[in-house]
Amino acid sequence: MHKEEKTPLTSPQEAKASPSEGEREEHGARPDQAAEFDQLIEDGQVGLRDLVAASVLRSPLLTEDPELRAIGERYAPKLRTAFRNDDDYVAVSLQREVGLGAALGSGPNDPLEISILRKTIRFDWTAPRRLLLDVDELEQDVRRWIPDVRERHSLLQSLFSVTTQLQTTIGRENARCPSNQDESAEPSDQVSKDLDVIRPQIELVRKRFLGDAQRSAQVRYAKGMGLGAVGIAAVCCVLAGIFSHWGIQAVNGVGLLAGAVGACVSVLQRMTARTLALDIQTSSRMLEIFGAVRPLIGGIFGLITFCIFKGELISAVTLPSAPDAALAFVAVFGFLAAFNERFFQDMLKNAGRSLEPSSNPETTPAPS
């Protein structure tokens, strides 16, 4: 899909391009504008900026030349139709009081474009511009980190609604200003009142985005964890065959399976309790890899737990002598070690203390 590059939202303090060919050049219009529009339509290269230019031309507030206004009136509908057909946009918003437009697409990338013709702005638009930058940044994050099409498009529709409100605020203020005024003029108090209403809406969209992005990351993590669990299950099946062939007791390997299960249950429990927090900016592949490793880590915890009990490193707990009891004992504690990492860490500390040399070694009494 062809997508026109967005017009940079440069600050009002930056120098504006000065007109070089009179009033027609002042708002981006040229004597050959009609021929250029025809060529764009023929080539299928109509972009949002072209729609904004035609909207400016047809606006009596921004264009005084009747010939140029006639061009704008004639080509604005044609350009809009060509723009929708070429790029499959579902919503387009243009503000005739200022050269500002926004378009929301319905294609694979759901582009939300914003185009601004700064030469048409007649007041200091620093505050609205900051919010437009926030919208632009949030739109990029949404398209990057939300893979679900419906969730992504819902968020982008909300951002498009916020953008149209900003358009209305800027356009209304622009219409109030004299034609000879530039960006150095202070805006009215109404602009601040409008922005106070719009800011909470942006924050609400941001909150929705963070929630959707977190759920999306958790789904990818769980997918990887499922693959890792399948791998651990395959390893356990192989070990079961080996143990059966050589007569090795199952208690020696049950910690691997119990730990893997404990790790998976722990993650699922935190997901349902909404306490699992992942880095949403981690790539999908890395999230799946981290998830796949989680059962392996749990299995290692379970095996270490068995070794601690087998080596009698914790004096308060001993491994039962009966095979069935020992199997159940290791399975339960292997599960707990992976399910609750704090429990495993405390167990390691207790085992470590048993390996430390005594601080008061016994001395052989001197012969009397």
- Do 278 and 325 belong together in one domain? yes
Determine the pLDDT at residue 328: 96
Determine the pLDDT at residue 10: 42
**Is residue 18 situated within a structural domain?**
no
- Do 277 and 177 belong together in one domain? no
**Is residue 343 situated within a structural domain?**
yes
- Do 183 and 234 belong together in one domain? no
Please report, for residues 2, 111, 159, 160, 205, the alpha-carbon distance to residue 138 in angstroms, rounded to integers and kept in the order given. 22, 12, 8, 11, 9
- Do 168 and 27 belong together in one domain? yes
Which of 341, 338, 320, 345 is CA-nearest to residue 258?
Answer: 338
Determine the pLDDT at residue 357: 65
CA–CA separation, 83 and 47 (whole Å): 6
Please provide the distance, in angstroms rounded to a whole number, between the alpha carbons at the two ends of the chain. 100
**Is residue 201 situated within a structural domain?**
no
- Do 69 and 133 belong together in one domain? yes
**Is residue 297 situated within a structural domain?**
yes
Q: Characterize the bridge pairing of strands 89-95 and 112-116.
A: unpaired
Question: DSSP per residue over 20-77, as a string?
Answer: SSTHHHHTT--TTHHHHHHHHHHHT---HHHHHHHHHHH-TTT---HHHHHHHHHHHH
Residue with tokens 């308060």: 316
- Do 182 and 240 belong together in one domain? no
Determine the pLDDT at residue 307: 93
Look at phi and psi of residue 313 and say left if phi exceeds 0, alpha if psi is from -120 to 50, else beta: alpha
**Is residue 158 situated within a structural domain?**
yes
**Is residue 195 situated within a structural domain?**
no
Dihedral angle sign, alpha carbons of residues 269, 274, 277, 282: positive
CA–CA separation, 120 and 307 (whole Å): 76
Q: Based on the structure, what is the number of domains in the chain?
A: 2
Q: What is the mean pLDDT of the chain?
A: 86
Alpha helices in 247-322 (DSSP H): 254-272, 284-310
- Do 262 and 120 belong together in one domain? no
Determine the pLDDT at residue 108: 65
- Do 158 and 35 belong together in one domain? yes
CA–CA separation, 139 and 330 (whole Å): 51
Q: For the chain, which residues score pLDDT lower than 50?
A: 1-28, 368
**Is residue 113 situated within a structural domain?**
yes
- Do 177 and 287 belong together in one domain? no
Give the end of a domain, one of 187, 204, 238. 187
- Do 170 and 30 belong together in one domain? yes
Determine the pLDDT at residue 58: 92
Q: Give the structural domain span for 134.
A: 23-187
CA–CA separation, 192 and 205 (whole Å): 20
Q: Which residues pair with residue 103 across a beta bridge?
A: 92, 113
- Do 43 and 179 belong together in one domain? yes
Tokens of 163: 């953008």
- Do 59 and 158 belong together in one domain? yes
**Is residue 3 situated within a structural domain?**
no
